[in-house]
């Protein structure tokens, strides 16, 4: 068994056990991710979707898919990292021959796994509340959609690693992450499908990493026509661009690290 596989198995196992300890908290986090369901209600009730050229079914499928995407692309790295750095818990992690980021990544995957039953339960509740609104994607759509969700999650993770490295310079770098929330909300497709944007805004949005984090995987899951190669290619390109930046910042940050609290 390779070293990497053993480490991955051990990390995922321990982090999943840890997340199960926090299952009630994770259930509340899942509940708090209902913005797409609220937007579904807003769009369905106002008739704006039809005015934008989308059928009611397209609207409901899109926002339900966006709800699922949102649930499994949540990244909270900066909040735990900031706390670990301030409380001195980062130091022991830095003294092990494994980059701390792998532990945080494993924690995110484990949190996603813990979230699954809560998300399924919420979908059942939606199905009971609005019969006929749920649908079964084709196996190909489901497979590609799930892959796209994980790719979108990795892109969000890498983007947040960059902001997280600012914790080495500022004790409250998590506040900077909130600055990214606005473009993320409006350019990702979380509050409106990208197809409904004015062409110029849509072009602008597509030049950022945000639409690939929600709109692309949601449209795949919803069975909308999507350029799959372009979507995965864009995510890969953004990751390849952002990852080296995060590495440079990480190394520079470590030089500034004063191991406070430890």
Partner 1 sequence: MAGPIIRASGLSKTYRISEKQPGLAGTIQHLLRRRHRDVLAVDGISFTIEPGEIVGFLGPNGAGKTTTLKMLTGLIHPSGGELEVAGHEPFRRQARFLRQITLVMGNRQQLIWDLPALDSLRVNAAVYGIEEAEARRRIAELAEMLELGPELQRPLRKLSLGQRMKAELLAALLHRPSVLFLDEPTLGLDVNAQARVRDFLADYNRRTGATVLLTSHYMGDITALCPRVLLIHQGQLFHDGSLADLTQRLAPCRQVRLELSDLQPTEAFACFGVIEAHQGHQVRLLVPRAQLTERVAVLLERFAVVDLEVSDPPIEELIGGLFRQRGEASVTGGVP
**Residue of 145, 120, 142, 123 lying closest to 133 (CA atoms):** 123
Among 28, 98, 230, 241, contact with partner 1 (rule: CB under 8 A): 98
Is 91 a binding residue for partner 1 by CB under 8 A? The answer is: yes
As a residue count, the chain comes to 262
Q: How far is the CB of 120 from partner 1 (least distance, A)?
A: 25
Q: What is the smallest separation between the CB atom of 60 and partner 1, expressed in angstroms?
A: 40
Which of the ranges 28-36, 40-48, 206-214, 252-260 carries the binding residues for partner 1, by CB under 8 A?
Answer: 252-260
Among 34, 93, 146, 185, binds partner 1 (CB under 8 A): 93
- How far is 83 from 85, CA to CA, in rounded Å? 5
CB of 253 to partner 1, least distance (A): 12
List 45, 97, 132, 225, residue binding partner 1 (CB under 8 A): 97
Is the CB of 32 or the CB of 96 nearer to partner 1?
Answer: 96
Closest distance of CB 62 from partner 1, Å: 38
Say what the alpha-carbon torsion angle 152, 156, 158, 162 is, to the nearest 10 degrees.
160
Query: Of 23-31, 72-80, 87-95, 221-229, which part binds partner 1 (CB under 8 A)?
Result: 87-95
Q: Which stretch binds partner 1 (CB under 8 A): 137-145, 155-163, 226-234, 251-259?
A: 251-259
- Confirm or reject binding of residue 132 to partner 1 (CB under 8 A): no
Is the sign of the CA dihedral 177, 37, 232, 80 positive or negative? positive
What is the smallest separation between the CB atom of 107 and partner 1, expressed in angstroms?
Answer: 10
User: Scanning residues 13 to 32, which ones bind partner 1 (CB under 8 A)?
Assistant: 13-14, 17-18, 21-22
What are the C-alpha distances in Å from 236 to residues 79, 100, 142, 153? 25, 23, 20, 12
Least distance between partner 1 and beta carbon 93 (Å): 8
Is position 172 an interface residue for partner 1 (rule: CB under 8 A)? Answer: no
Q: Please tell me the count of residues contacting partner 1 according to CB under 8 A.
A: 29
| Residue 7 engages partner 1 in binding (rule: CB under 8 A) | yes
Residue numbers at the binding site for partner 1 (CB under 8 A):
3, 6-7, 9-11, 13-14, 17-18, 21-22, 88-89, 91-98, 254-255, 257-259, 261-262
């Amino acid at each position: 068994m390779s070293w990497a596989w053993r480490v991955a198995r051990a990390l995922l196992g321990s982090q999943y056990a840890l997340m199960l300890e926090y299952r009630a908290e994770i259930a509340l986090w899942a509940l708090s991710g209902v913005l797409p369901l609220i937007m579904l209600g807003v769009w369905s009730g106002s008739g704006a979707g039809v005015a934008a050229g989308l059928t009611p079914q397209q609207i409901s499928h899109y926002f339900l898919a966006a709800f699922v995407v949102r649930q499994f692309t949540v990244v909270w790295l900066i909040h735990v990292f900031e706390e670990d750095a301030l409380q001195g818990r980062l130091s022991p992690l830095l003294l092990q021959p494994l980059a701390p980021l792998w532990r945080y990544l494993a924690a995110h995957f484990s949190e996603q796994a813990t979230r699954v039953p809560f998300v399924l339960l919420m979908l059942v509740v939606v199905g009971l509340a609005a019969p006929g609104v749920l649908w079964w994607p084709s196996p190909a759509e489901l497979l590609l959609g799930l892959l796209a969700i994980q790719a979108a999650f990795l892109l969000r993770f890498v983007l947040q690693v960059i902001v997280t490295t600012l914790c080495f310079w500022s004790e409250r770098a998590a506040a900077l992450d909130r600055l990214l929330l606005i473009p993320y909300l409006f350019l990702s497709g979380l509050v409106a499908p990208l197809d409904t944007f004015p062409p110029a805004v849509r072009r602008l949005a597509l030049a950022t990493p945000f639409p690939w984090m929600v709109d692309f995987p949601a449209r795949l899951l919803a069975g909308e026509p999507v350029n799959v190669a372009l979507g995965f290619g864009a995510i890969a390109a953004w990751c390849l661009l952002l990852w080296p930046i995060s590495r440079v910042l990480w190394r520079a940050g470590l030089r500034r690290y004063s191991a406070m609290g430890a």
